[in-house]
Amino acid sequence: MGALLGLFLDIGFLSGRPQDLPASRSLPIVTGILAFLTNYAVDTGFTQNGQRLDFALAQTSLLGLWIGLVLSARRLWVRYGQTVSAVYGSNVLINLITWPLSFGRGFGALGSEILAIALAVWFVAIITKILWHAVELPLVLSALMSLTGVVVSGWVLITLFPLPPS
């Protein structure tokens, strides 16, 4: 368990690769559930728990779907388990760092907003590095795919779940 956590930390610090993770059938499921739970814990912008639950489920599902589309476009579906585990695990790490900011009015302060933006940029960098290893494309194309996935996912989420009035 400690070795697996170390692998996820390595991926989060851009020194690990998705293929370093074990090729396990249960790992994508476990990391997906953890990503869903931490997405739910961090996304406190909704007042109703049902809406918050739906948002976290959609957020996690879109991430997994997007990774699947990228890999299937390159005919590398066999790498889905390790790649999605790396992305979900990184999502969990970023969420755990972000979680203290979501309590109360934590995101209202300028410093916490800057930290949230920095963590979002870091998450895109992590996804870029994961895709670079998984789909074997130049780093610039992997970065464009990462940014496209994040922007499209964000657009879909905002369309499905409009922000509540503040």
Parse the chain into domains and list their residue ranges: 24-160
Instruction: Map residue 25 onto helix, strand or coil.
Output: coil
- Report the distance separating Cα 160 and Cα 65, nearest Å: 16
Query: What pLDDT, on the 0 to 100 scale, is given for residue 30?
Result: 96
For the segment 56-114, what is each residue's pLDDT rounded down to a tens digit? 999 999 999 999 999 999 999 899 999 999 999 999 999 998 887 766 554 555 566 78
pTM: 0.89
Question: Is the pLDDT score of 1 beyond 90?
Answer: no
Q: Binning pLDDT at 50, 70 and 90, where does residue 134 land?
A: very high
Residues of the chain with pLDDT > 70, as a percent, come to 91
Determine phi and psi for 165, rounding to 5 degrees.
-65, 140
Name, in order, each residue with C-beta under 8 angstroms of 70's C-beta and a sequence gap of 6 or more.
131, 134, 135, 145, 149
Q: CB under 8 Å, gap of 24 or more: what pairs does 2-7 form?
A: none
- C-alpha closest to that of 119 among 139, 85, 92: 92
Q: Binning pLDDT at 50, 70 and 90, where does residue 164 land?
A: low
- C-alpha closest to that of 19 among 59, 10, 36: 10
